[in-house]
Amino acid sequence: MSSDPTPPPTSHRRARSGGTGAPGRVRWRRFAVMFVPAAGVTALLLGLTASGALASSFSISGQQFEVSATSLDGNGFQQFGTVDFTASQQPVVVAESEIQSATITNLCQSLNTTVPVLNIPLTLKITAGGSGTPVTADSLIIDANQLSGSVATFNNINIGQDASKLDAITPGSVPLGLAGTFGQQASHVNIQGLKQVAYSTSAGTFTLPGFSLSLTSGTSAASACF
């Protein structure tokens, strides 16, 4: 508003206006200049993701989460036993399932976690592929310590193969098990009523048509997938 009667030389001020010694503040109009378009692009990308036009990439590790689907259909299936570690460094024996390409109907993924520092329990749930268009995933890897399906069909299945010699998925594109461990593979897999408790997952590309993401406080079973 009113100007200071003895303003310091502007040249000096300029010299320090690099935001070093001089105090400053946020100009909210400038904020809007950056934030509004950024939020617009974010919304656009979310829209494209929800329509299945844009694929996302997923990788979660160290937390326990639940995955369920009414149906999973995949080409190129490998599975073997391995050991994961939880965030608290507890070893967990898990079955690592790998699918080269999968289509998933009514995918649900929920994650119970606590916000660090604040220590607030949260349940995060993503659902997708429920509105006619299934979810598709490439190079899907899930480490589950519990996996169940009401009906599962496999084609060209080998059970008991050396996990380091599996080749149902293009070799080199996914990790394999340790030499000598028990593995199985199939050229095609279909699992109905899939439920998994998993510790780690990753997927190179994941389209999530009709996705919704909900964040609820607390860890009630109602907000989880199953």
Residues 46-105 touching another protein, rule: CB under 8 A, are 46, 49, 54-63, 79, 81-85, 87, 89, 91, 93, 95-96
CB of 106 to another protein, least distance (A): 18
Select the residue interacting with another protein from 69, 99, 135, 203 (CB under 8 A).
203
CB of 77 to another protein, least distance (A): 11
Of 67-75, 99-107, 204-212, 217-225, the segment contacting another protein by CB under 8 A is 204-212
Query: What is the CB neighbour count within 10 angstroms for residue 197?
Result: 17
CB of 167 to another protein, least distance (A): 5
Cα 121 from Cα 79, distance rounded (Å): 32
Contact 30, 111 (CB under 8 A): no
Of 27-35, 70-78, 99-107, 216-224, the segment contacting another protein by CB under 8 A is 27-35
**What is the DSSP-derived secondary structure letter of residue 176?**
-
Query: Residue 93 corresponds to which amino acid?
Result: V
CB of 180 to another protein, least distance (A): 3
Task: Return the number of the residue (105 or 200) whose C-beta is nearest another protein.
Answer: 200
Q: Which of the residues 109 through 168 are near another protein (CB under 8 A)?
A: 111, 124, 126, 139, 141, 143-165, 167
Look at residue 65 and give its three-state secondary structure: strand
Of 68-76, 100-108, 178-186, 216-224, the segment contacting another protein by CB under 8 A is 178-186
**What is the DSSP-derived secondary structure letter of residue 181?**
-
Of 1-9, 69-77, 100-108, 216-224, the segment contacting another protein by CB under 8 A is 1-9
Token look-up 């206006």 returns 17
Cα 141 from Cα 36, distance rounded (Å): 36
* 183, burial (CB in 10 Å: exposed 0-12, middle 13-18, buried 19+): buried
Phi then psi for residue 11, to 5 deg, are -60, -40
